[in-house]
Amino acid sequence: MRVLFCAPEVVPLAKTGGLADVAGALPVALAERGVDVRVAMPRYRTVSLTKANPLGSVAVAIGADAVEGTLSETRLPGTDVPVWLIDQPRYFDREGLYGEGGKDYPDNLSRFTFFSRALLEWLGRQRWQPDVIHCHDWQTALVPVMMRAEGSSRAATVFTIHNLAYQGLFPREQFPITGLPWSLFTMRSLEFWGQVNLLKGGLYFADVLTTVSETYAREIQTEEFGAGLDGVLRDRRDDLFGILNGVDYSAWDPSVDTLIAARYTADDISGKRACKADLQRAFGIREDPQVPLIGMVTRLVDQKGLDLVAQVIDELLDVGAQFVLLGTGDPRYHRLFEELQARRRQHVGVRLGFDNRLAHQIEAGADMFLMPSRYEPSGLNQLYSLRYGTIPIVRKTGGLADSIVDATQDALARGTANGFVFEAYEPQALLQTIHRAVRTFKDRRTWQALQQTGMRADFSWARSADRYVEVYDRAAARAGLAASPRGR
């Protein structure tokens, strides 16, 4: 089977969120199963590589302009998986991936139209041809549209929704940039309330759709979570599959993690104490092993439940807990947490930005990890937290519902409990659940049982990769290819 991953960001080359983790780990897991996989992504300024071999150039039409770009090839670091880097300095030599200062780049439609057209133009010249092209989120959604409308490849297409809220919306006047006929600017293709909606095009034109958890696949078919596209998704429900994201345990495992103060395992968790002290020192908060320490690593946006956190945080700190946060996003949340840190300096640590080492330190050093999301397609941090013996406190939604089992008496007795879960999106529901977690923290025997259950769970990419292979076969069959990719 030959699979081409088409992704706007890939760990460790470029990252803004969980999509990059998927695009960096899933191809490796597929390659381990004998899949001939390659990855294509833009060459952003942040992609600093000493070994990228030039491949050639392409010229494509972007609206009325002919735009030339270049391609080079490297490998995913530490692997043999090839990566095609598509470059056009006018589009990709920038500080950010999709925008700066909380605002999207105004020419994003041109940027990702170029990426899609350049990739298909380059692919048309190659001897290596994929059986399946696997596209991710709105930035790559034009690929299946162009393939169907223009016949640029015979490959089947799989389109993965990582977060339905981000759809790639642009003014109607920009539609000619895509080079697609106006006949595709309709309600059953790319038109959405008078705007261009790239993600909607991917939903209509890809052979098979996936999203990143089974619960989220059901949720997005409802008006509450469908972001205006629930009708499209219900129409395609027979071709929509939820596959929970996995964890790259070569990077996220306290027994091998080189970024934390001490290594530890489920059989010997003693090193976690040193990690907690190290985290408290890193944030300049009081060093005390007995104080429950709650961590968050998140985008600072409404989706992540930060409005709930803002309403309960002072009451939480008043009972003696500590709180540390790493993230960036909405400026109003920047101000809120900076002011909180100034008021409660002994109990609160805040770092605004992206810091991979500190993210690992929080996973290893915190006692609990907070994810009170309004919605959460998959979530990765709750899975990282399980492996690090850091107990997740989550809202029952999306991938959080699929991975965290509430510490009820029955679940504790069965040995299946691994966290604390609340359902109503209300501040008191969150606060009561945190209080429940803090009380359980004082029961060292029960707490250690929770830790060990989580640390011994297997959320590796192996299980998810097997399901994706099944999806690729289904996509090939739906596309009407002569044979299943596995048989060719």
pLDDT at position 256 over 50: yes
Q: Are residues 390 and 466 in the same domain?
A: no
Give start and end residues of each alpha helix (H) in 124-226: 142-150, 198-205, 214-219
Domain count within the chain: 2
Confidence band, pLDDT 50/70/90 cuts, at residue 153: confident
> What pLDDT score does 481 carry?
62
Mean pLDDT value across residues 100-121: 95
Which of the four pLDDT bands, split at 50, 70 and 90, describes residue 283?
very high
What's the pLDDT band for 446 if we cut at 50, 70, 90?
A: very high
Whether residue 295 is found in the same domain as residue 443: yes
Q: Is 171 a domain residue?
A: yes
In a domain, 258, yes or no: no
Are 301 and 372 in contact by the 8 Å Cβ rule? The answer is no
For residue 133, is it within any domain? Answer: yes
Q: What is the CATH number of the domain that holds 206?
A: 3.40.50.2000
* Distance between CA atoms of residues 93 and 110, nearest Å: 14
Distance CA(454)–CA(419), nearest Å, equals 8
| Mean pLDDT, residues 226-254 | 96
| Residue 264 is assigned to a structural domain of this protein | no
Closest to 145 measured CA to CA, from 118, 176, 117? 117
Which candidate, 422, 395, 398, 397, places its Cα nearest to that of 408? 422
Q: How confident is the prediction for the chain on average, in pLDDT?
A: 95
Cα angle for residues 324, 332, 317 (degrees, 5° grid) = 35
Residues 334-359: tens digit of each pLDDT: 999 999 999 999 999 999 998 999 99
Tell whether 374 and 427 lie within a shared domain. yes
Answer whether residue 486 shows pLDDT above 60: no
Tell me, what's the pLDDT at 484? Answer: 37
Asked if residues 320 and 344 have their Cβ atoms less than 8 Å apart, the reply is no
Average pLDDT over residues 11-24: 91
Give domain status of residue 251, yes or no: no
pTM for this entry: 0.90
Q: What was the pLDDT predicted at 335?
A: 95
Q: Tell me: cis bond preceding 12? Omega within 30 of 0 counts.
A: yes
For 240-250, write each residue's pLDDT tens digit: 999 999 998 98
Assess whether 234 and 377 both reside in one domain.
Answer: no
36-48 per-position pLDDT tens digit: 999 999 999 988 7
Say yes or no: 366 and 434 in one domain: yes
> Is the CA virtual torsion 407, 413, 414, 415 positive or negative?
positive
Other CB atoms within 10 Å distance of the CB of residue 388: 27
Residue 262 lies in a domain: no
Q: Which residues pair with 421 in a beta bridge?
A: 394
Average pLDDT over residues 299-311: 94
pLDDT at 483: 38
Residue 265 lies in a domain: no
- At residue 152, the pLDDT reads 78
For 6, phi and psi rounded to 5 degrees?
A: -120, 105
Q: Give dist(CA 39, CA 140) in Å, integer.
A: 13
Q: Please check whether residues 77 and 160 belong to one and the same domain.
A: yes
Partners of 323 in the beta sheet? Answer: 294, 348
Beta bridge partners of 100: 103
Whether 237 and 375 map to the same domain: the answer is no
Question: Which residues constitute the domain of residue 78?
Answer: 2-246+462-487
Same domain, 47 and 191: yes
pLDDT band at 485 (very low <50, low <70, confident <90, very high): very low
**Averaged pLDDT, 397-408:** 98
More confident of the two residues 386 and 318:
386
Q: Are residues 65 and 90 in the same domain?
A: yes
Give mean pLDDT, residues 59-81: 95
Residue 50 banded pLDDT, cuts 50, 70, 90? low
The enclosing H or E element of 410 equals helix 409-414
Furthest-apart CA pair in the chain: how many Å? 68
d(CA 303, CA 473): 34
Residues 119 and 149 in one domain: yes
DSSP 86-140: EE-HHHH-SSSSSEETTEE-TTHHHHHHHHHHHHHHHHTT-S---SEEEEESGGG
CA 195 – CA 172 distance, rounded (Å): 5
Q: Are 231 and 173 in contact (CB under 8 A)?
A: no
pLDDT confidence band for 72 (50 / 70 / 90) = very high
Do 473 and 437 belong together in one domain? no
Residues 315, 224, single domain; the answer is no
Instruction: Confirm whether 257 is domain-assigned.
Output: no
Residue 488 is predicted with a pLDDT of: 31
Say what the pLDDT of residue 97 is: 96
